[in-house]
Structure 1
Amino acid sequence: MTSKHNPQTPSLPDKTPDIAIVGLSLRFPGADNKHQFWHNLSHKISSISEVPVERWDWKKYYDPKPDKQAQKSISKWGGFIGDIAGFDAGFFAISPKEAQSMDPQQRLSMELA
């Protein structure tokens, strides 16, 4: 007995349901809100920059032609979100010490939620 594989394509509904965007919160390099973000997109503004001096000294880690032993970066550029230290720990009932040890992405998600 031979079997024949007959894949079925799922049928799509006649009309897709309406979707409503109820809220939007974001922070991107060069844009702390949706208006700045849209402005950057519509005006083709690049938000890529050299590593800010307050983040780290990129000169210690940068080599345009690193050897594998040196473990250096081949780039001194990136997309950096401003005011990463501006987290209001008290608002979230978190001690400043605990806030400092948190992953910056977690702090950002708490601020934007």
Structure 2
Amino acid sequence: MLGLLVLRLVLVVPAARAGEDAIKIGILHSLSGTMAISESVLKDTVLMLIEDQNKKGGLLGRKLEPIIVDPASDWDVFAEKARELLTKEKVAVVFGCWTSASRKSVLPIFEQL
């Protein structure tokens, strides 16, 4: 999983602004609602991997900064939060959308942006 993160960031980081101190990582997992019992563990796993990578010096000389949002197990909110991560927070990559319904909800947002 960490290898995939590194590969995706190496490909996406040029899109991030060069002057930023940290590489922002979006975490789009439900922390409340019906899916929280499953997805909060996934959020914790991504945070653990980010922390481990930062202890090793980050990526490309920059620290990784997690940006956590809670779509609250609501498929429409997944799309809203995905848009927020991409446009407002300017994340380089997003981890999340464990269910097929959440992936279908955010797909048009990722295709558009």
Answer whether TM exceeds 0.5 for this pair: no
Could you say which TM-score interval applies, normalised by the shorter chain? under 0.3
Higher RCO, Cα 8 Å, sep 6+: 2
TM-score by length of 2: 0.21
Q: Which has the larger radius of gyration?
A: 1
TM-score by length of 1: 0.21
Which one has the bigger strand percentage?
A: 2
